[in-house]
Structure 1
Amino acid sequence: MKVTGVAGIFLTCFLAGLADAQSGCPRMVTRRDIATLSDAEWGQMAGVLQRMQNDGWFRYFADIHNREFGNIHGNDNFFPWHRRMLRDFEEIGQRYDSNFAVPYWDELRDARNPAGSPVLTSRLIGGNGFGGCVRDGLQGGWTMSFPGPHCLVRSYDRSGQMQSWYSPEFIFSVMQRHNDMHGFRENMEFTLHGSVHLGVGGDMATLYSPNDFIFFLHHANLDRLWDQWQSWGHAWTMDGRNHVGAQIGLDSGLPHYGDPVGSTMQLGVNRMCFRYAGNGGRRKNGGALSLVSAPLQGQSTKDAEANLETLPLPVLQRWFPALVKGTHAVSPAGGAGGTNSTRSSSSSTRQDGSFLVYPAPLTDAWVSMHRFDQQKVAQTMEEAREFVDALNRAGYKSPY
């Protein structure tokens, strides 16, 4: 039976509220892209964050992250622990404003030119430091108290600019190619996670990175991507090991918090009383690119996905296996190794796209700080370059 009109709206709202109640969540909040917040919405949120700073909460989270650093990086506690920490931060914010929800920064959309992002302007987060100290935006002029009194520092990794980050296409590929938590986590931690921390620099490149609110925006975005990956058949996928090499299971306790890993695995259950705007929409053979990153203004989501689907079959098989199933017609002339005949209507003729560029690699200091396996990091960096080369050779033009 299909119910429409006012009755349909009422029923939808009732069922949504019932679902929240059954989950144990008295209410759900929606985490939104920070770039979509109105001036009034951002002003209200900024007021909460200023009060949290005044009451010592930024120091509190910087201290926790500093102490637990080795327990939550370079192992498979990474995603559940940061989800639990973000929710802790959000719950504290809700003491000041019950509507408070941690926004996310869709960094993939800005990956080509991060320093030019509207997020890094005086209207929102502020930009690079002057002499290191951030002077504008939310935290302009703030004095951070951990590990000792100092101005909030940002120091972009290219003298006022930033090296390019990982493209939406590459992260979309990572999410398709890794069906285990260990492989997914390792590739995300070695790529997007590290490149943003290093690109912003300053406090973000230290063990006490939660001093910078960008930390929370960044990890909310990583958590959003994990939520998307979970929806592709990995809702309860938790394998791998912790910092001492012990197997992690759903009943394993999270460092500092002690909560079982399983308590973080589903949004809307236990304390995870939040959802992400945009997640939960259409999924096609493993998801649409639009669910990984919002398209730029004036660009078509359909074009972004269609450009990928018309790549040569060997490229799809290697980098986008979820798009192969029923979506790719091989050109009779070119065969399996040839060029798809339909590309003439999309990527090769697009004038508003650009070739992909190599993303910034992790620095030796960052690898050492996290005690990463240097060989694995090198392999991941080389794979990222191979990805760029493969798509560029195929004539792919990114609309991002």
Structure 2
Amino acid sequence: MKLVISLALAACASLTCAQGPQRCTSMRVRRNAASLSQRDWQSIANVLSQMNDDGWMSRFGASHDRLFSRVHGNTCFFPFHRRYVLEFENIARTYDPNFVVPYWDATESFRDPAADSILGSTALGTNGQSGDGCLTNGIQANAQMTYPNQHCLRRAFDNGNSINPWYAPEIISSYIQTDTSLASFRENIEYSIHGAVHLGLGGEMDTGYAAQDFSFMVHHANLDRLWWDWQNTHNSFLMYDGTGSNGPASLSDRIPEDSSVPLNGDNVESVMVLGYGNVCYTYDSGPGAPQSYPSGGSGGNNREQGGSNDNNNQVFSGSSNVENRRLESEGIQNSLDSNALNRLFPGFGGSRNQSVRRRDSEKKTSECGGPIPFPPRLTPSWIKMHGYDAKRVESAHKNACEIVEILNNSTYSSPY
């Protein structure tokens, strides 16, 4: 009898493992920060003030700094930051049960980031004051940090009182559609919009302890949203390839953690699918959770993805604006020939097979500054800080500029 019971328990455990995490019974929705009311921002400010008084902001800054080399420059970048922002959100909800981290779609203001209302004096705050760079307005106005020493929360825009243009939604759209491995998508995102926003804000955000600035959380929530869109576009919910934090990537890898912000020893697979296990949130720009947990087991380099999701046949762009997504898709289809479309935007479907319709006849320009501004380069110090391969970073920037150049030299008119 004992043997039968033991076998039954073993079978049950095996079945549970095969089924994966349970679907969440309730879901919270992360909203676009641009849609928040002044009351919403004030509620966030109240929570951040209490968390800072209790030392949590500096704990998050310290833990991110100490884990820095393990969670950047490899595929662990996405699952770590998904789990990290979720932990911040969970702790914040102990102060306010309605707290949800919003996401900052930085592509919406890529042309003139400093003019974004989210960087206003009643939201995330403006530039730091001249001299010491201390942030004197916004939801963390005059905040004092204790890591790595006692100092004010700082902000220092990368172009004086303005910020250099960021990455256009169309560039991110191309990454979402063309990158067929998570390792490739991670590299393109980390070398582009991830670094551009950090460097654009500067100050605290240009350090290993950037998590002390709430801008870090809303920025990484947006990167998480882009990863989720990529996962749905390719039906690759469990793809985790390339190199992880300790060698070849495996879904069974433990997510790096620091004692100041414990992550419960969670492994990578536990955070791969929104709406399952403890990852009980989604984004207001869609898509929702899969109807069933994806199949494929827990091994690394998993390319046989399953699951059922009404959004699996959808292709998402870099923007969170549904109407602009439509205009972007139609505009690109009508402006590029089939070769350019299939190479850069395969998810937007077929074209009319015309030659690329160019502005000013066949005139080309390699100068940065067309209708879509060319993205900035990562700084040498940022590249060194992250241990990136400078040649790969330069190659990624060159490819991004090529996307912009092709669009600018066609008849395409960006809706953003």
Which TM-score band (shorter chain)?
A: 0.7 to 0.9
Match status 1:292 vs 2:292:
no
Provide the secondary structure at the position in 2 that maps to 1:275.
strand
Q: Which amino acid is the alignment partner of residue 277 of structure 1?
A: D
TM-score by length of 1: 0.84
**Residues 283/330 of structure 1: CA separation in 2 closer, same or farther (3 Å cut):** farther
Q: 1 CA distance for matches of 2:351 and 2:37?
A: 41
Residues 345-384 of structure 1 correspond to what in structure 2 (within 5 A)? 355-384=371-400
Provide the secondary structure at the position in 2 that maps to 1:310.
helix
Residues 261-272 of structure 1 correspond to what in structure 2 (within 5 A)? 261-272=268-279
Unaligned runs of 5+ in 1: 1-21, 332-336, 344-353
Match of 1:311 among 328, 332, 335: 335
Q: 1 CA distance for matches of 2:341 and 2:203?
A: 39
Match of 2:280 among 273, 279, 298: 273
**Counterpart in the other structure of 1:58:** 57
Q: 2 CA distance for matches of 1:316 and 1:285?
A: 18
Q: 2 CA distance for matches of 1:23 and 1:35?
A: 32
Is residue 120–residue 126 contact of structure 2 (8 Å, CA) maintained in 1?
A: yes
Cα RMSD, aligned residues only: 2.0
Q: Which amino acid is the alignment partner of residue 282 of structure 2?
A: R
Provide the secondary structure at the position in 2 that maps to 1:195.
helix
TM superposition shift of 1:227: 0.7
TM superposition shift of 1:90: 0.6
**Residues 164/179 of structure 1: CA separation in 2 closer, same or farther (3 Å cut):** same
Is residue 309–residue 328 contact of structure 1 (8 Å, CA) maintained in 2?
A: yes
Is residue 112–residue 164 contact of structure 2 (8 Å, CA) maintained in 1?
A: yes
Provide the secondary structure at the position in 2 that maps to 1:30.
strand
**Equivalent residues, number:** 355
Is residue 129–residue 135 contact of structure 2 (8 Å, CA) maintained in 1?
A: yes
**Counterpart in the other structure of 1:200:** 201
Q: 1 CA distance for matches of 2:139 and 2:315?
A: 34
Unaligned runs of 5+ in 2: 1-20, 258-262, 289-309, 360-369
**Residues 300/213 of structure 1: CA separation in 2 closer, same or farther (3 Å cut):** closer
**Residues 217/373 of structure 1: CA separation in 2 closer, same or farther (3 Å cut):** same
Q: 1 CA distance for matches of 2:58 and 2:312?
A: 43
TM-score by length of 2: 0.81
Residues 122-141 of structure 1 correspond to what in structure 2 (within 5 A)? 122-131=121-130, 132-141=133-142
Residues 152-301 of structure 1 correspond to what in structure 2 (within 5 A)? 152-232=153-233, 233-244=235-246, 246-256=247-257, 257=263, 258-280=265-287, 286-289=314-317, 292-294=319-321, 301=325
Is residue 307–residue 396 contact of structure 1 (8 Å, CA) maintained in 2?
A: yes
Q: 1 CA distance for matches of 2:153 and 2:72?
A: 23
Match status 1:393 vs 2:393:
no
Q: Work out the percentage of aligned pairs sharing the same amino acid.
A: 38
TM superposition shift of 1:207: 0.4
